[in-house]
A = this chain, B = another copy of it.
Amino acid sequence: MSEEGQEGIPTPDASATAAPRRSRVDRRRFLEAAGASGVGLTMGTMLGGPALGVAQAGASSAPTTWDMTADVVVVGTGAAGFAAAATAHSKGNSVIMLEKGPIYGGTTAKSGGEYWIPNNSLLRAAGLTDPKVWALRYMARLAYPTLYNPNDAHLGLPPLEYSLIETFYDRGPEAIDYFEHIGAVHTQFNPDYPTIANYGGNPNKPTYKTNNPDYHAELAEDKRPQGRSLGPTATGGGGGAGLITQFYAWATAKKIPVLLEHAVTKVYRNTHGQVIGVAVNAKGKTLAVRARKAVVFGSGGFTANKEMARNFLRGPVFGGCGVPTNTGDIVPIASELGADFGNMNNAWWLQLPLEIAVTTVGSTADIWIPYGDSMIQVNKYGRRVVNEKAVYNERSQIHHVWDASRTEYPNLVLFMIYDDAVAKNPTQWAFRGVVPMPGNTAPYVIMGNTLDELARKVDARLASLASHTAGLKLDRDFTAQLRQTIMRYNSMAGTGVDTDFQRGSTPIQRDWGAGGRKGLKNPTMAPISGSGPYYCILVCGATLDTKGGPKINAKAQIIDPQAQPIPGLYGAGNCIASPAGQAYWSGGGTIGPAMVYGYLAGFHAAAEPVKDV
C-alpha cells in the first residue's frame, strides 16, 4: 500500500477527515458502489462531510469543506470517462469517477463497442496506409456537408471544427496505443458480422478481412474504406460491455473509486474562475468533491430529457437507446460557467419500434438496418420515402421532414411492412433486429392476412397510441397507394436497381442489410408477395444519444464564446459538441472520438497546475 501515494490515490482534506460519520448502512452501500476498495479515503471523507448547503450557492461559491479530493474528478463512466480516468491516473494523478446511474458503463456498455480510428496502428501493421488528407476529407465531407471544400486548407471548416477533426486524426492512434500500453484496453480489428458482401470486384473496395466497411465507403472521399473500425479484444467479453469491463478491471486494479449513484449537480470555481470541484447528489446527500487539477465531463447527452429533445433537435424523436440518466445535466451546469454550446441540433439518429420507444427509456431495440429483402417502409400515405437500407444515422432523419402543404410531419411514424418470406426466413442474421425469428412473436408486430386487413389492424394500433402521436391515422387512401408502391418496388426489385432511393447501393447496405434469400440481383431487394400474410412494425425517429453540448477545443477543454478555456474544465463523449458534427463516419464513429478526446482530456488534465481553493 505504500506506493499508493505515488499511484495517485485520492487524498482527503484534513477538514473533511474530521467530518461526522454516516450510518453503517450508508458506509457499506458506498463501498459497494465505489466498486474498488476505497483505500486511501478515510471513512470520514468517504461517508460525507457536514451538510454544506451548497445547493443554494452560486456556481463560483466554493464550499468550506470537501468530502473527497482527487487530482482529477471524472464525471461519467462510459468510454469517454474511463479513457480520461485511465489516462490521468496512469500519469500519476489521483482520480475519482462519479457515475449518476446505478451501474457503470453508460451508453457504451450497451453498444457494439467499436471505435473508429483513422490511421490506427493495427491498420498500418496490416500494411495499409491512411494519409491525413484521405481521412480528413472523408470526415469533413460528412461532418459539415454544407461547408466542405476539398481545395481549402481547412477543407472549408471553421478553425475550431477543423482543429477537432485534425487532432482526432493526429492523436487517435496514439490514444489507442496508449490504452494498449498501460494495459487498460486491448484492441483488435472489430470482428466482422456474419456476412461480408462481395463488393463486385472493385479494386478500390478491397475485401481484405479486417472489419466492416465505413458507413460511406461509396464516397469518392473514402480512400480507406476498411480498417478504421476497431474494437476490444475478447478479454472482458467483447463489444461495448467488454470494453467497459476491460476499463473497469483496470480502474479497479488501480483502486480508482467508481462511485455509483453520484450525480454531479454543480461545478465549483475559485475566485480566479478556475474549476476546483463539483457538488454531488449521492442518493440524496450533497457532497463536495474537490478536484485539485481538473474536472472532466465524460457524461451522456440529453436523449432521456424529452423537453430538451423537443427544444433542440432537428426533428421529432420518441426516445433513444442512451441510458436513462442521459438527461443533459451538463447543459445548465456548463451554462452557468459561461460555456459556449454547439451541435445542439444533432444526434446519433436511429429508428425504434414506436411502441417500445414510448414505453421504455433507453431501449436497445435499435433498427440498425431494417431486416428483410421483401420489406419496405412507407409513410401514412402508403409511400416509400427513404432508402430502407441506408445506415441508421442517415435513414432516421426522414422522420424530421415537414410537409408545407399539410402542416404535418408526414413521416412521423413509418410502417415497416414485410411478407411471410421475411417472417419465415430462418437466417440467424446479426442485424435481424426487431423481426422475430420464425416461431417467435413480438407484441409490436402486427399481422394481417391481406393488405386491407393489415391496414385495419394498423389503424387500430395507432388509435391505441394516439396520445403519443397527436392522433396519427393512416390516410384513407393508404392501402390503394400501398399497392401502387409495392408494384413499383417489386418492379425495381426485379431489376435490382432502386431508381427512387438507391437501396442496396453501398457496401455497408449490402454487408449489413442483406440476409435474405439467395440469388437476388440486389441482395437487399426481393419482390413483396402478392398474397398474405403481411406484417407491420410501427417505426419512429429516435437517437442512440444526442451529441450536442458545450464546445471543446483540441485539448478537450470546455470553452466560452471567445474560445477561451474555462480553466480546469474538460469534456468528451456525448455530453459535448461532437467533433463529428452531423456525421456518423462508421461503426465506432461514436466511441472513437469519445475515447480519443477522453484520452486528451486526461492527458491535458494531468498537466494542469493544482488550483487554490
Contact = CB atoms under 8 A, between A and B. Distances in A.
Given A336-B336, A336-B338, A338-B336, A409 B145 contact: yes
A316 B314 CA distance: 11
A341 interface: yes
A557 interface: no
A314 B503 CA distance: 26
Given A338-B335, A398-B404, A405-B390, A345 B146 contact: no
Interface in A310-343: 311-316, 332, 335-343
A416 interface: no
Interface in A447-471: 466-467, 469-471
Contacts of A87: none
A88 to B, nearest CB: 28
A328 to B, nearest CB: 9
Interface in A135-162: 141-142, 145-149, 156, 158
A158 B391 CA distance: 33
A307 B407 contact: no
Contacts of A345: 311-314, 344-345
Contacts of A397: 402, 404
A179 to B, nearest CB: 31
A560 B406 CA distance: 35
A345 B142 CA distance: 21
Given A312-B312, A314-B345, A502-B405, A470 B147 contact: yes
Contacts of A158: 307
A548 interface: yes
B314 A146 contact: no
Interface residues of A, number: 64
A60 interface: yes
A548 B470 contact: no
A58 interface: yes
Nearest to A216: B407
A502 B395 contact: no
Nearest to A388: B404
B311 A501 contact: no
A404 B394 contact: yes
Interface in A369-399: 386-387, 390-391, 394-395, 397-398
Interface string A42-75: 0000000000000000101000000000000000
A122 interface: no
Contacts of A141: 407
A470 B156 contact: yes
Contacts of A502: 405-406
Nearest to A342: B311
Given A146-B316, A345-B314, A332 B402 contact: no
A311 B471 contact: no
Contacts of A405: 387, 390, 394, 501-503, 505
A409 to B, nearest CB: 6
The residue among A142, A145, A502 with the most chain B CB atoms within 10 A of its own CB is: A145
A400 interface: yes
A561 interface: yes
A133 interface: no
A471 B503 CA distance: 25
A413 to B, nearest CB: 10
Contact of A390 (B273, B401, B404): B404
Nearest to A311: B342
A505 B405 CA distance: 8
Contact of A332 (B147, B312, B338, B548): B338
A273 to B, nearest CB: 8
A282 B345 CA distance: 34
Interface string A286-318: 000000000000000000000100011111100
> Which 4 A-B pairs rank lowest in CB-CB distance, beginning with the nearest?
A394-B404, A390-B404, A335-B335, A405-B502
Given A216-B407, A314-B400, A391-B404, 6 more contacts: A149-B466, A149-B470, A311-B577, A313-B345, A390-B404, A394-B405
25 contacts: A60-B60, A145-B408, A146-B316, A146-B412, A148-B471, A158-B307, A219-B407, A311-B341, A311-B344, A312-B312, A314-B315, A314-B400, A332-B560, A335-B335, A335-B336, A344-B345, A345-B345, A387-B404, A387-B405, A390-B404, A394-B402, A394-B407, A401-B401, A405-B503, A405-B505
